[in-house]
Structure 1
């Protein structure tokens, strides 16, 4: 019969998740207010739909699958602003809680002090800050799953149970909210297969991980095969997206400190100065102090090797030779363009760093009591990155759409057809959304497909996207093409987003021929009347089926794990 749960034991069980939640809320506090997350790549809208773009059947590569499908499925029930912010906060919370659980599993003698250090290191670091500022909320969900994936595989290697199999499937599927998250989770899982254990064999573990990963990847694999997003190579962006050296640090040092994102504007203020050097020294010192303890534990060694590789490979890819090789590979196989943002793969170092940080209290317990060591490490990690708090000093916050946006969205939804947008730029800067640029929210708000070239300007250099048809329509508009020409190209509407930067060319010649359907100080909607051609129903059905496979893994794995765990927790004889 199970031993009774005492209040003290229950308090200890909830200490780590409670602390992780506190950290997550400290980081994301401004998002708790009403409104929407609009910051660089992060775009949330009240409602999303199963458009061709949301299913990955547009000209752009399916980088946001199955994320966009999930948002479209849930926004009829939950406001999109609430949903995206909840997922973001949940991802950061999972990173801290999961790091604590992984430390408890691999370094049990570190106790609760070690778990708190691990949680702090997983949440309070430059990687989280920079990805927040870049708007990569779904990547942070995948990042938060990594310690849970590692723990699930380690437990399977020690004992095979139905709940443990289901748990592994659930975490890999949840990390698969984006292609990058799935690849990160699969790599962590495969590396952890080599830990010693008498449970599931390594061969069976590898087979289970690969099978789950392929099934979870089916949304973007099927969309890539059926869509047009891989027809052009993103190789011009290889150099622009390379990892970047921070002040006082080379590229290798920046990556070792979990920093170095390609976009210098998506960096907290403290990392843009020489303070980046002592901050990196502190983070690496916490990890280094724990190394003498964990290097003697075979179950931790795979994660330490992965941490080293997760730092060294992106650093090598940022060298002249590495960039040349990566550019050649991407030109030969455009599908691997996902590799070009090298710094995001540094997430692979987090589980190993967290466990080593937890072990610091074991290494020093002969000199300092574990709670004292933990307190010192936690305070130091937070102190060297003070501007992560409160949404990176209030930068990551909620905003409200002007009243014209929902009106325009409803009008387009009433007669769905391709939408062209001016000024000609993929990124927008709205006074009401703050000073940072943001992807145009319209493509995620309407039933119709919004024509977007995907072109980006990074450090003054243009990185072309995959939108060939969108680029041709944009060229027509900027050249003042007749309304009949636009309609013949399938354009049903033109939206002018006033106040945002970008070229207008002589588009006014085209716009003067079009009836105005709506106008205010922020938006003008013109009716063109063209009829667009949606993707064939067969392709849509295939992509939807692939998404249902992913959903089955996520929901089925989660329910199975919970049910089996609940049965295990029920005392015998009840």
Structure 2
């Protein structure tokens, strides 16, 4: 009976912590914060499938939400996935400690859960709006556990599930792939390349197929990205800490506005010291277990995940990154260097668990050091509680959006949006700029340049046709020019500041389809030139392969068949 209770302790504790973090967001409304956009309904547009000229950064995430929002409210879907991600991150951290430290007892895995959920990486990615990245983050400890399970039992199912779940975004797919390959190499020792290694590579490619195929079909990854993004998105030193110290404390995101209040003062150094003290407590106990290849592998991965982004933020690192951005296809995916710090989490959680287990054995009291360590981790970031100090809360969209979406059902042509740019400040969205919700809110493709405005300048996007359309509108171009660019509609978002240029001249040539205090929708007259067709069949097949891996892997895990090549 006691064993059964201890088995439930970690998932229940992780769920409690996750609710404490997300609390306000779980009420009615939608997530709309910086890069995060949830809407009542999303659609299977070319943008959702990643086949436009912009990089396929939200693939297969957007298509998944489009599918689920045909049955459930899209806002509920996103909040449920986010809650599931945090919960599984904590539970997975507990499982990795149970797997690699089987004698640690119940308190140690709970400390591992605390480290995985309650840290600056989670806080900063929540505030930046990277909810789907946290799915990949959550998959990492489970990927380690699944790799060990594969080695011990020959069962592939859970590893397939982990890779597919992390593959909800390209970054998540790469994070899980690196972790799985590290485990595969560590467990393979000195044996030659075997069938199991080829099978692992096959699973990784299947999990990544939606964005790989979308990139190949659209050609969006064939050209370089703006080198200005390398410096703009480099890891950042926080107060009282250098870049290396910030990264070691699982902080240092590029956007200084997307951080909890305590990370904007010298308290950041105190909080980092507390977190690292908890982790450091386990270094000696883990050193004594260094013959375990997974422990060595996760330690090496953590060191590289921290040192790599720190080096990338130096002069030579930035120069190398700028060269890669221009000359290496797909290098733009690497430019937000701090996101790779997620790879350190499994080792941090494992070290924290090992430390409190060791201290508990010395004190002959397992709970005392565990409670002290968990409190230290929480005190290190006190304002993560309740929506990161209340910054994470749902919004309500005006009914105008639903009316415009209904107007565009079964319509032709793409949608151009005013004011210029991709970010908005609506009366209902708070003070921080938020990503324009129109591409996910409307049933037609919404043209976006991909240009990002950051401190000190802007980073050019890949949306060349959208850029051409924006130039026509800013110059007051003709309706014919818009039609030649396959634009059938122009949406004016009236309650957000932004550049309008001479677009009034263009709008006066269009017919009004809908107008109220929030939005105005204009119809471009005449024949609309169709945009260049894309091979959505191949992309759709890749999405189906990804779903098959996720669902099939789950069935494979629940009803396993032993297979050991």
User: If the TM-score is normalised by the length of the shorter chain, which range does it land in?
Assistant: over 0.9
**What's the C-alpha RMSD, in Å, of the aligned pairs?**
1.7
3-state SS in 2 of match to 1:526: strand
State the alpha-carbon separation in 1 of the partners of residues 274 and 24 from structure 2.
27
Aligned to 2:78: 84
Q: 1:534 to 1:553 in 2, by over 3 A?
A: farther
1:286 to 278, 295, 302: 278
User: CA contact under 8 A between 1:243 and 1:342: conserved in structure 2?
Assistant: yes
State the alpha-carbon separation in 1 of the partners of residues 206 and 20 from structure 2.
36
1:145 to 139, 143, 152: 139
State the alpha-carbon separation in 2 of the partners of residues 541 and 552 from structure 1.
16
State the alpha-carbon separation in 2 of the partners of residues 276 and 560 from structure 1.
44
3-state SS in 1 of match to 2:47: coil
State the alpha-carbon separation in 2 of the partners of residues 40 and 535 from structure 1.
31
User: CA contact under 8 A between 1:158 and 1:197: conserved in structure 2?
Assistant: no
1:550 to 533, 546, 550: 546
Aligned to 1:531: 528
TM-aligned CA deviation for residue 501 of structure 1: 2.3
3-state SS in 2 of match to 1:31: helix
User: CA contact under 8 A between 1:16 and 1:97: conserved in structure 2?
Assistant: yes
State the alpha-carbon separation in 2 of the partners of residues 337 and 464 from structure 1.
11
Q: How many corresponding residue pairs?
A: 555
Aligned to 2:235: 243
Q: Give TM-score scaled by structure 2 length.
A: 0.95
3-state SS in 1 of match to 2:490: strand
TM-aligned CA deviation for residue 531 of structure 1: 2.3
Aligned to 2:472: 476
Name which of structure 1's ranges 238-247 and 70-79 shifts more when overlaid on structure 2: 70-79
3-state SS in 1 of match to 2:499: coil
1:34-433 aligned at under 5 Å gives the runs 34-160=28-154, 164-195=155-186, 203-230=194-221, 231-297=223-289, 298-299=291-292, 300-364=295-359, 365-367=361-363, 369-433=365-429
3-state SS in 1 of match to 2:551: helix
User: CA contact under 8 A between 2:124 and 2:258: conserved in structure 1?
Assistant: yes
User: CA contact under 8 A between 1:60 and 1:228: conserved in structure 2?
Assistant: no
State the alpha-carbon separation in 2 of the partners of residues 91 and 20 from structure 1.
11
3-state SS in 1 of match to 2:514: strand
Structure 1 residues 202-235: Cα deviation after superposition (integer angstroms, max 9, x where no partner): 7444323211111111111111111042335232
3-state SS in 1 of match to 2:49: coil
Aligned to 1:570: none
Name which of structure 1's ranges 142-151 and 26-35 shifts more when overlaid on structure 2: 26-35
3-state SS in 1 of match to 2:540: helix
Structure 1 residues 267-313: Cα deviation after superposition (integer angstroms, max 9, x where no partner): 11000110000111111111110111111213312111111111001
User: CA contact under 8 A between 1:133 and 1:266: conserved in structure 2?
Assistant: yes
State the alpha-carbon separation in 1 of the partners of residues 187 and 491 from structure 2.
60
TM-aligned CA deviation for residue 159 of structure 1: 2.8
Structure 1 residues 137-172: Cα deviation after superposition (integer angstroms, max 9, x where no partner): 100011001000001111222232xxx311111111
State the alpha-carbon separation in 2 of the partners of residues 187 and 102 from structure 1.
17
Aligned to 1:505: 501
State the alpha-carbon separation in 2 of the partners of residues 416 and 387 from structure 1.
47
State the alpha-carbon separation in 1 of the partners of residues 560 and 71 from structure 2.
29
State the alpha-carbon separation in 2 of the partners of residues 420 and 532 from structure 1.
14
Structure 1 residues not aligned, in runs of 5+: 1-5, 568-574
Q: 1:170 to 1:345 in 2, by over 3 A?
A: same
Structure 1 residues 314-363: Cα deviation after superposition (integer angstroms, max 9, x where no partner): 11111110011111112111312111110000000000000000001232
State the alpha-carbon separation in 1 of the partners of residues 468 and 533 from structure 2.
22
Name which of structure 1's ranges 89-98 and 151-160 shifts more when overlaid on structure 2: 151-160
State the alpha-carbon separation in 1 of the partners of residues 298 and 530 from structure 2.
49
User: CA contact under 8 A between 2:356 and 2:373: conserved in structure 1?
Assistant: no
Aligned to 1:571: none
User: CA contact under 8 A between 1:157 and 1:195: conserved in structure 2?
Assistant: no
Q: 1:104 to 1:396 in 2, by over 3 A?
A: same
State the alpha-carbon separation in 2 of the partners of residues 205 and 322 from structure 1.
35
Q: Give TM-score scaled by structure 1 length.
A: 0.94
3-state SS in 1 of match to 2:266: coil
State the alpha-carbon separation in 2 of the partners of residues 334 and 472 from structure 1.
23
State the alpha-carbon separation in 2 of the partners of residues 374 and 532 from structure 1.
65
Structure 1 residues 112-151: Cα deviation after superposition (integer angstroms, max 9, x where no partner): 1110000000000000000000000100011001000001
TM-aligned CA deviation for residue 196 of structure 1: 5.0
TM-aligned CA deviation for residue 410 of structure 1: 1.1
